[in-house]
Structure 1
Amino acid sequence: MPVMLNIFLDDAFIYSNNIFFGKLPEAYAISDPIVDVMPIIPLLFFLLAFVWQAAVSFR
């Protein structure tokens, strides 16, 4: 078990600065800011549903 934990921690250290964001190829580097925001879009639709229901008094 300590060996597996050591392997896991070594991998976590190597990828610690790259957990959430990947690097796009250079050809798509111009769209990098847009790609960083895209995973948030479904959450915005979810919040929009609550705002809409609040506007119609949660019928």
Structure 2
Amino acid sequence: MPVMFNICLDDAFIHSNNPFFGKLPEAYAIFDPIVDVMPIIPVLSFLLAFVWQAAVSFR
């Protein structure tokens, strides 16, 4: 449990000092880890398209 608490503190420290990150309202603070991952989703979709085309031999 202390390790998880330290990770949360480190994450909050990094985001609070970086002007490129916005801060979610307190009511939505539980969704912060999900919001951190969301920008990666389009990249994964792009990579999935290549995997799909490789599976069908780039028709």
Unmatched segments (≥5 aa) in structure 2: 1-16
Greater RCO, 1 or 2 (C-alpha within 8 Å, sep 6+): 1
Map of 1:37 onto structure 2: 37
Aligned to 2:23: 23
**Cα separation, 2, equivalents of 1:51 and 1:44:** 10
Q: Distance in 1 between matches of 2:50 and 2:20?
A: 27
The number of equivalent residue pairs is 43
Q: Which runs of 4+ in 1 moved over 6 A?
A: none
Q: Give the partner amino acid of 1:55.
A: A
Structure 1 unpaired stretches of 5+: 1-16
Q: TM-score, normalised to structure 2's length?
A: 0.66
Answering whether residue 51 of structure 2 is matched by residue 51 of structure 1, we say: yes
Q: Which amino acid aligns with 1:41?
A: I
Percent of counterpart pairs with the same letter? 91
SS at match of 1:45: helix
